[in-house]
């Protein structure tokens, strides 16, 4: 359904673009003619991701931590220097893990909220100011979660942060429409990706239980989310702003928070399972 040049002339900045859904979106945007600029905390991962896209003249990257406003400014400056202007941003950088809320440290809560909520704000405001100054408008697509509006047990920092990003999306869609800037969100359901999936699925039984609650009968494919992001960011949807589009095979309609089912496990057993999921130094 997409013309091969649907995003030709566009420059897309993708946070958390070195792997997973971020890289899947980068591949799709690149295939539609866009210039791609990736950022994330690992320079090595970004270099590998950029190389995999196979278009060195249309791909750039610069490492940076979205929690750090100075680092964000450096990323945007690098992207602007490379391609002249960034007109589209995908706020995809995130952090998440399963934990009983009473056991969360202040640092654990802060780390997720600063990455997801503060990071999205940092990128959006810094780039938005440039869009406003140029008078040429632009587009933001923010990746949230289906529990942004329901909340979810055992992922409290992420639920709080994603709810904040959804509010940011709708607030700026109204405030910045006068500048020709569109701000939308995507709420993905379960998409198996390297890294994040292992931190959110305690065991095979939970994965099977999660699958059983998807009316479509399967988990999402990264290319499906990438296609949706390309449509929202592209010129075929110029009157869509302030919207949050769910892509989850009907999953959220079957219940509330994504991880609420874990309350069925004896709490001591659950805590042992979650402890085993923690990365080992």
Give the residue among 249, 220, 222, 165 at the shortest CA–CA distance from 21. Answer: 222
Q: Does residue 126 belong to any structural domain of this protein? A: yes
**CA distances in angstroms from 182 to 128, 139, 169, 239, 249, listed in the order given:** 10, 5, 9, 8, 26
Q: Is 1 a member of any domain? A: no
Q: Of residues 97, 147, 154, 259, which has the active-site annotation?
A: 147
Is 52 domain-assigned? yes
Q: What is the pTM of this model?
A: 0.91
Residues 242/183, Cβ–Cβ less than 8 Å: yes
Per-residue pLDDT of the chain (281 residues; tens, 9 = 90+): 799 999 999 999 999 999 999 999 999 999 999 999 999 999 999 999 999 999 899 999 999 999 999 999 999 999 999 999 999 999 999 999 999 999 999 999 999 999 999 999 999 999 999 999 999 999 999 999 999 999 999 999 999 999 999 999 999 999 999 999 999 999 999 998 876 666 677 678 878 888 888 989 999 999 999 999 999 999 999 999 999 999 999 999 887 667 777 777 898 999 999 888 887 76
Q: Is 179 considered catalytic here?
A: no
Range of the domain at 245: 11-277
Separation of alpha carbons 257 and 147, rounded Å: 5
**Inside any domain, residue 230:** yes
Q: How many domains does the chain have?
A: 1
Residue 123: CATH number of its domain: 3.40.50.720
**DSSP category for residue 182:** E
Q: Which of 271, 230, 253 is nearest to 147 (CA)?
A: 253
Q: How far apart are CA 272 and CA 121, in angstroms?
A: 35
**In-domain check, residue 6:** no
Q: How crowded is the C-beta side of 224, counted as CA atoms within 13 Å? A: 15
């Amino acid at each position: 359904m997409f013309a091969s040049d649907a995003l030709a002339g566009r420059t897309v900045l993708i946070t958390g673009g070195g792997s997973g859904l971020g890289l899947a979106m980068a591949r799709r945007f690149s295939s539609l003619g866009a210039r791609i600029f990736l950022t994330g905390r690992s320079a090595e991962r970004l270099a590998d991701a950029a190389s995999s896209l196979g278009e060195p003249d249309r791909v750039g990257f610069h490492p940076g931590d979205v929690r750090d406003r100075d680092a964000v400014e450096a990323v945007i400056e690098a992207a602007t220097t490379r391609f002249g202007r960034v007109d589209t941003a995908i706020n995809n950088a995130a952090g998440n893990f399963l934990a009983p809320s009473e056991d969360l440290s202040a640092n654990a809560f802060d780390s997720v909220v600063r990455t997801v909520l503060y990071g999205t704000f940092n990128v959006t405001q810094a780039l938005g100011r440039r869009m406003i100054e140029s008078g040429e408008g632009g587009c933001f697509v923010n990746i949230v979660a289906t529990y942004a509006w329901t909340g979810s047990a055992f992922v409290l920092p992420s639920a709080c942060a994603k709810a904040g990003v959804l509010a940011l999306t709708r607030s700026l869609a109204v405030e910045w429409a006068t500048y020709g800037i569109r701000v939308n969100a995507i709420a993905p359901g379960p998409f198996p990706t390297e890294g994040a999936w292992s931190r959110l699925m305690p065991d095979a039984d939970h994965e099977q239980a999660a699958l059983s609650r998807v009316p479509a009968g399967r988990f999402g494919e990264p290319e499906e989310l990438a296609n949706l992001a390309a449509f929202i960011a592209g010129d075929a949807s110029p009157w869509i702003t302030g919207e949050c589009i769910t892509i989850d095979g009907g999953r959220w309609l079957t219940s509330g928070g994504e991880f609420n089912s874990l309350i069925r496990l004896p709490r001591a057993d659950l805590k042992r399972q979650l402890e085993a999921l923690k990365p080992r130094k």
